Amino acid sequence: MHVIPGEAMAMVTAHARAADNVDSGYSFVHCTVTGTGKTAYLGRAWKPFSKVVFSYSDLSDVVHPEGWSDFGKKEFDSWFDANVKPLDARKDNLDPALVAAEANKTIIKVRSDGSGDFKTLTDAINSIPEGNKRRVIISIGGGNYTEKVKIERSKPFITLYGDPKNVPNIIFNGTAKEYNTVDSATVVVESEYFSAVNINFVNSAPRPDGKRELAQAAALRTGGDKASLYNCKMFGFQDTFCDDSGKHFFKDCYIEGTVDFIFGNGKSLYLNTEMHVIPGEAMAMVTAHARAADNVDSGYSFVHCTVTGTGKTAYLGRAWKPFSKVVFSYSDLSDVVHPEGWSDFGKKEFDSWFDANVKPLDARKDNLDPALVAAEANKTIIKVRSDGSGDFKTLTDAINSIPEANKRRVIISIGGGNYTEKVKIERSKPFITLYGDPKNVPNIIFNGTAKEYNTVDSATVVVESEYFSAVNINFVNSAPRPDGKRELAQAAALRTGGDKASLYNCKMFGFQDTFCDDSGKHFFKDCYIEGTVDFIFGNGKSLYLNTEMHVIPGEAMAMVTAHARAADNVDSGYSFVHCTVTGTGKTAYLGRAWKPFSKVVFSYSDLSDVVHPEGWSDFGKKEFDSWFDANVKPLEARKDNLDPALVAAEANKTIIKVRSDGSGDFKTLTDAINSIPEGNKRRVIISIAGGNYTEKVKIERSKPFITLYGDPKNVPNIIFNGTAKEYNTVDSATVVVESEYFSAVNINFVNSAPRPDGKRELAQAAALRTGGDKASLYNCKMFGFQDTFCDDSGKHFFKDCYIEGTVDFIFGNGKSLYLSRWLMIFYFFLKNIEHRDACNSREAMAMVTAHARAADNVDSGYSFVHCTVTGTGKTAYLGRAWKPFSKVVFSYSDLSDVVHPEGWSDFGKKEFDSWFDANVKPLDARKDNLDPALVAAEANKTIIKVRSDGSGDFKTLTDAINSIPEGNKRRVIISIGGGNYTEKIKIERSKPFITLYGDPKNVPNIIFNGTAKEYNTVDSATVVVESEYFSAVNINFVNSAPRPDGKRELAQAAALRTGGDKASLYNCKMFGFQDTFCDDSGKHFFKDCYIEGTVDFIFGNGKSLYLNTEMHVIPGEAMAMVTAHARAADNVDSGYSFVHCTVTGTGKTAYLGRAWKPFSKVVFSYSDLSDVVHPEGWSDFGKKEFDRSVTVSV
């Protein structure tokens, strides 16, 4: 492009892209801009979304330094201003050494013909001084440079820039025999900030033949941090490229080889790069990554790359080290890649994590949906190309070609371009995938609105079938933006109304109601959704990962979501994890109360300033706030109940930035903490960037309110190697916290001391010690061996954390709650154990916890809820009796086979067992006092699986129960998968010992709509249990009959009736209105349950104990009653006892119970009774004569 002289302001381009979803733009590659005119701009903002890219191009001095002109249209700069900052605005966040180097460039020319500054690269590099601090660009002319080049660590900021039209080759024939493998490279780079552009790196040594020793021959080795390569190629055979250590970036590159041709321990991103497998190797390997431990921050990531070749089948990588980390995403893998993808290379021990977490298809197929397994095994591909070069020109024609009741995976491959059509995938056509060209993503466009189609069916693509997926698709509704004048102007881009849908790298464009996430379970990853009002709406149960929601400007009140969950027992909700909310619109809410039980969760997500500080809007429906108002109080209402010091500190936050590269306020944590004054009274958030911080950190008692906040996308490691020998055990910790109100988020605490071997004394080595009160940790990891974490003293809270170790790896005297946590036990074995008796030694026996509660009146203990204990070590105990009153509780947790069947060890301290021995007897000692029928049944368990999708033994509970013989004498556990089971169930008296066990992560709903009119009251129950020894765990019992309205006769509708003796329920819920639960007769036990209703919603004549159970009063009844107990005579042994329970609700004033029978007996103790309970507590229900005989205690 040549600029003609004479214009005051010259413009090379003016591009007319008017909207973000328009697929147009100018791309200039290997071009030149010349001229003799005045300063020219590369382009101007003619339209708001103009798109112009110059790459690998030579821009002469005629080009203005700014490059681009907004041509006076500042409003077009919104995206640029939001996403790209000028150097002055960014320089505080950049590495200052890099900023200084780039501001002071110099160029050295290397030409093999002698026309440059030097003839060889070696001479050019030798001319650069040690300690160089400026960017030195070595411009290399075309040709061959046969030399071995090394860039020492003392020479950073070097760029090798090859002629783009005649790319130079740097060639040498070094092998491992002469130099060792990593130093055999033709070019060895040990310095930081290295870059290379347009270079071919070649090792010309012969191909290894299996006969010559040490024949590995590398072309390039990058061993310094912050390296980048563009448009470079590497040629070799075995070990072509040593991607050694540090953070590296590669774009538009090419690497070829045979075995391990990308190897090392780098943390590297490869974009649009080709790995080419050379033919002839028996077993080719693309990568060999050397990550040796789980806390090492390294790995190879390949994005939009290709693996090609003509060689024999190749693996994407092999297990060179135990924690090798390699990811391929959005990449094309040709047939040269082996179907297994990865090789353990004979190191089965490296597969431990994989084996524990990922099962081969044969091992999993019984747990998978058989219809899906069959469909995926029988794929077919249909090509749609708008130019007619495929099987069809339109999506509609392609979908019409698929038969109804399709049972195979049909992949519709869609070429780039615009497809202007309204598409519908009917319910009868499951297993369809829309797969767009990743390099030219297709747009499916239509302009439907609610006026023509209704809102949900206005969508450009309507999906009603199951098992739908979409990859690389733009869904666009091109209808005009609603202006408040046109009626029914909502216009959706996509609607997913079938179950088990997934979308990857898809975008949805619209304004109001862009995406109808309608119903069913859906998964979204790497997507983008934009809109104004309710632009994600519906009643789906959906997980969004790494997805951007973009708010379009101009709306008075923007809403990201509008979720339609209408009842508390509906299993739906939107969950956004590692997502972003961006926009240039006015302040937007994350969602609104469309229905009374809307459920939306954002976690680990970045919310820009476009989000309103309140986050959520009740949209004028105050009645929908009942649960929130009952359970969550605004700060003003709560502040009198909160610690005033904490309230004051949180109201006065400050942030300190720690960056290891010097770009923050401090380079070390120690310096940051030292800067905080003693007696600090404000919340100090220390923002810590990714990287390794090798230091021993102590937060003194005099410095409360400190938060360590790590970068969630690049979690920092705080590392030290202290041991008990130097510091004593508790102070060996890498981070010692003695202050109150400490918190940590996204931090890895690492003690890198060697593993105790039984020979070194005092080898305990802690990663973290929390010794102050009111500490909390989220998404943190602790790495060590013995005594990893000293949970020392005070109240502490942990969520989504990970702790690994061998012996006593959680120890101390804290009072702590651990939620959703991983505890990892290492394989532990001492080489010096020679005798069998030594197997009882401390070192040979792994211990998760060692709690130090020394007296019964000490208020401390560890509680683990929804946690997991995993490991590859020998059998481990959950804890040991370190002190006589150690207190450890695991509940609702997954304990893998690594846990010893006994669970707990007295560690040879029999005297600590006194309380246990006095109160808990082993089965052998108790069996004479136990019901012999129960003992026999529990010793002879069997499991029946019920799955609504047909993947179990039965699809319905009724069929499972029918399969149990009358007179059954064994414990039958009916394992029930998640979902809805719409059936009326009865367990007859002749079938005792039945357990209903629901999936704890996806609790099943048993639903029916029976009423007293059809069945009588007690038999209206969805589940009727008449047998003994019944139990239920993780079950929702639902009666879906309408609420009694006072007009319909016999409208009572029970969810559950327990009429047999010795029943127990744990973590169960019962939903209904009048007479929800018939606690009929017999001894019953309930723990961690929930029961809701209006009138008499717990009724019957049972003798029952309720622990930690919530009774919830539904609003709207003139006189609500929690219980109606039916004890008719003083000598009847029955009654309801509620201990540590809660009564909640938004209904009118409710009574705890009424005098249904003359000797009703109800006791509430140690329970929280909300304002919903009438001050009198009990009602005689007009039966004054019963007031002398009933028993009521509150």
List Cα–Cα distances, 933 to 54, 1017, 1061, 1167, in angstroms. 82, 32, 13, 35
Question: Which amino acid is residue 719, in one-letter code?
Answer: I
d(CA 112, CA 280): 35
Which token pair is 629?
């108002």
> What's the first-to-final CA gap in the chain, in angstroms?
89
For the chain, the C-alpha Rg in angstroms (whole number) is 35
Residue pair 1063/1035 in contact (Cβ under 8 Å)? The answer is no
Burial class (CB in 10 A: 0-12, 13-18, 19+), 914: exposed
In 513-605, which ranges are continuous DSSP H helix? none
**Strand intervals (E) in 272-431:** 274-277, 284-289, 299-303, 306-309, 314-318, 326-329, 332-333, 342-343, 380-384, 410-414, 418-420, 423-425
Q: In this structure, what are the phi and psi dihedrals at residue 2, rounded to the nearest 5 degrees?
A: -115, 125
d(CA 1084, CA 1064): 6
Q: Given strand 1168-1169, what is the order of strands in its sheet? A: 980-982, 1005-1008, 1036-1039, 1069-1071, 1090-1093, 1110-1113, 1142-1145, 1168-1169
Residue 105, number of CB atoms within 10 A of its CB: 12
Which token pair is 1074?
């009048």
Spatial CA neighbour of 436 closest among 461, 456, 457, 407? 461
In 380-494, which ranges are continuous DSSP H helix? 395-400, 450-453
Torsional class of 302: left (φ above 0), alpha (ψ -120 to 50), beta (otherwise): beta
d(CA 1149, CA 1056): 25
Concatenating the DSSP letter of every residue in 978-1006 gives: SSEEE--EEE-TT--SEEEEE-TTS--EE
**Strand intervals (E) in 481-540:** 494-496, 501-504, 507-509, 515-517, 521-525, 528-531, 536-538
Residue 643, number of CB atoms within 10 A of its CB: 12
* Residues in CB range of 662: below 8 A, 6 or more apart: 95, 96, 97
List Cα–Cα distances, 131 to 134, 135, 190, 997, in angstroms. 9, 12, 13, 68
Q: In this structure, what are the phi and psi dihedrals at residue 703, rounded to the nearest 5 degrees?
A: -125, 75
Q: Look-up: residue for tokens 């005009």?
A: 480
d(CA 726, CA 747): 25
d(CA 1143, CA 1113): 8
d(CA 517, CA 1146): 30
Residue 669, number of CB atoms within 10 A of its CB: 22
Catalytic residues: 260, 534, 808, 1096
Question: Which amino acid is residue 830, in one-letter code?
Answer: L
d(CA 221, CA 966): 74
Q: Look-up: residue for tokens 């708008």?
A: 386
Residue pair 1091/1111 in contact (Cβ under 8 Å)? The answer is yes
